Amino acid sequence: MSSTLLSRRLAAQVVLATLAATPLLVAAQDKPLEWVVGYAAGGGSDVVARTVAEPMGKALGRTIVVNNKPGAATNIAADYAAKSKDYGNLMFTADFATLAANPALFAKLPYDAEKDFKPVGMLARFPLLVVVAPNVPVKNWKEFVAWAKAQPQGVNYASAGAGSPHHLAGELLREQSGLNLTHVPYRGAAPAVQDLMGGQVPVGMIDTAAAQQYVAGGKLRAIGVASPARIKSLPDVPTLAEQGLKDFKAYAWQGVVVPSGTPAEATARLGQALQAALASGTVKARFEALGLEPMPGTAEQMSSFVRSERERWGKLIRANNIRLD
């Protein structure tokens, strides 16, 4: 068979395959895109998704509908998304809990964090702050260390819940500082902040979205940023690393994934739209107002980042025997 004839046959096969797939692609474009979020409506994760959904939908030429499925440390939403066969029409906010912490926190999960999802791209980072109650007489980390060491019973610290990024960052802080810190879990950052302002608990590891308005208003005092760099919304608050905790780094983060069976073409299209949305001025302004940071990154970069985070936090969780089941 001549090379010319072979080339013609291959070209014909490509055309037929494209024509066969076209009705499916058109049908997918006409159907709303479901964005699954593992937290309640009105929370930080929900706000991030709805902020990004509008410009992302415009880039795709599709309507994006946010579907909140809160509970069980994102496991309910993760299970739903992992088992979906609606390929090309569903994506999921997979975060620190879903992909990095839960595989070590739970003996058995209804999903496989490594095999059931395909990364689309990174989404956002939630900086964490060490904040103290108004009645704690310290202004920085050095003063806090001296004060904490003088407390005969040690010091309680508040977090947004057991197994949360806030909790695990607090355990990392305890390990690296050598302070006698005892975890007090709350059902979310908001009630933790309320008790901090009331002086019921002296210190907390709280995300900027929940704490920065109270820090700015003088109702809480931020003594350190857990992120590797200072944050724009609170530029005068130094990082913990600056104050002597070398290389200290902890923050909550989110990315977007799709069920593993999603075609590569559809995944790539979602990734391009996501990056375009994160680059928009509207999204950047909204994130900054919330104390969040856009975290653009390709699917490949997300895959590498998640692997390193799973290894890092899994080691801490196992070393401290932290379990949620």
Pair of tokens at residue 119:
């990364």
Torsion region of 305: left, alpha or beta (phi above 0 gives left; psi -120 to 50 gives alpha): alpha
Spatial distance between the Cα atoms of 104 and 318, rounded to a whole number of angstroms: 7
What are φ and ψ of residue 125, in 5° steps?
-120, 135
What are φ and ψ of residue 170, in 5° steps?
-65, -40
Residue 9 is predicted with a pLDDT of 52
Pair of tokens at residue 172:
């990392």
Residue 14 is predicted with a pLDDT of 40
Spatial distance between the Cα atoms of 228 and 242, rounded to a whole number of angstroms: 9
Residue 102 is predicted with a pLDDT of 97
pLDDT tens for 219-278 read: 999 999 999 999 988 999 999 999 999 989 999 999 999 999 999 999 999 999 999 999
Task: Judge if pTM exceeds 0.75.
Answer: yes
Contact 76, 70 (CB under 8 A): yes
Spatial distance between the Cα atoms of 237 and 45, rounded to a whole number of angstroms: 24
Pair of tokens at residue 224:
């350190």
Residue 29 is predicted with a pLDDT of 58
Q: Which of the residues in the chain have pLDDT under 50?
A: 1-8, 10-27
What are φ and ψ of residue 31, in 5° steps?
-90, 140
